[in-house]
Amino acid sequence: MGSVWSDTIKLPSFDPLEHALNTDVLIVGGGLAGLLCAWRLQQLGVDHALVEADTVCGGVTKDTTAKITAQHGLIYAKLGREAAKGYLDANLAALAHYRKLSGEIDCDFQHRDSFVYSRTDLSELEEESSALKALGFPVELEFCPPLPFSVAGALRFPDQAQFHPLKLVAALLPKLRIYEHTPVRSLSPHRAVTDRVAIQAKKVIVATHFPILNRHGSYFIKLYQHRSYALALENAPDLGGMYVDAALDGLSFRNYNGLLLLGGGGGRTGKPMGGWEALETFARRHWPKARVKYRWATQDCMSLDGVPYIGQYARTTPDLYVATGFNGWGMTSSMVAALLLADLVTGQENPWAGLFSPSRSMLHPQLTANVAHSALGLLTPTTPRCPHMGCALKWNEAENTWDCPCHGSRFTKEGRLLDDPATKDMKRGKPRHS
- Contact status, residue 329 vs residue 310, Cβ threshold 8 Å: no
Domain residue limits, the chain: 15-63+167-221+305-356, 365-419
Task: Indicate the pTM of the whole model.
Answer: 0.94
- Contact status, residue 242 vs residue 110, Cβ threshold 8 Å: no
C-alpha 326/C-alpha 359 separation (Å) is: 16
Question: pLDDT at position 1, please?
Answer: 63
- Helices 81-102 and 330-345: angle between axes, nearest 10 degrees: 100
Q: What 3-state class would DSSP assign to 92?
A: helix
- Contact status, residue 262 vs residue 230, Cβ threshold 8 Å: yes
- Helices 165-172 and 81-102: angle between axes, nearest 10 degrees: 70
C-alpha 174/C-alpha 153 separation (Å) is: 45
Q: Partners of 225 in the beta sheet?
A: 301
Question: pLDDT at position 371, please?
Answer: 86
Side-by-side strand order, sheet with 410-412: 394-396, 401-403, 410-412, 417-419
Question: pLDDT at position 145, please?
Answer: 95
- Contact status, residue 70 vs residue 311, Cβ threshold 8 Å: no
Q: What 3-state class would DSSP assign to 350?
A: coil
Q: What 3-state class would DSSP assign to 352?
A: coil
Does 365-419 carry CATH code 2.102.10.10? yes
Question: pLDDT at position 419, please?
Answer: 87
Question: pLDDT at position 204, please?
Answer: 97
C-alpha 317/C-alpha 337 separation (Å) is: 18
Q: What 3-state class would DSSP assign to 97?
A: helix
Name residue 252's amino acid.
Answer: S
- Contact status, residue 284 vs residue 27, Cβ threshold 8 Å: no
Q: In the chain, which stretches have pLDDT less than 50? A: 431-434
- Helices 32-43 and 330-345: angle between axes, nearest 10 degrees: 40
- What is the CATH code of the structural domain delimited by 15-63+167-221+305-356? 3.50.50.60
C-alpha 85/C-alpha 77 separation (Å) is: 11
Q: How many CA atoms lie within 13 A of 27 on its CB side?
A: 34
- Contact status, residue 41 vs residue 48, Cβ threshold 8 Å: yes
Count Cβ neighbours within 10 Å for each residue of 133-168 and write b for 16 or more, e otherwise. eeeebebeeeeebebeeebbbbbbbeebbbbbbbbb
C-alpha 292/C-alpha 96 separation (Å) is: 33
- For the CA atoms of 342, 29, 172, 333, the dihedral, rounded to the nearest 10 degrees, stands at -60
C-alpha 405/C-alpha 59 separation (Å) is: 19
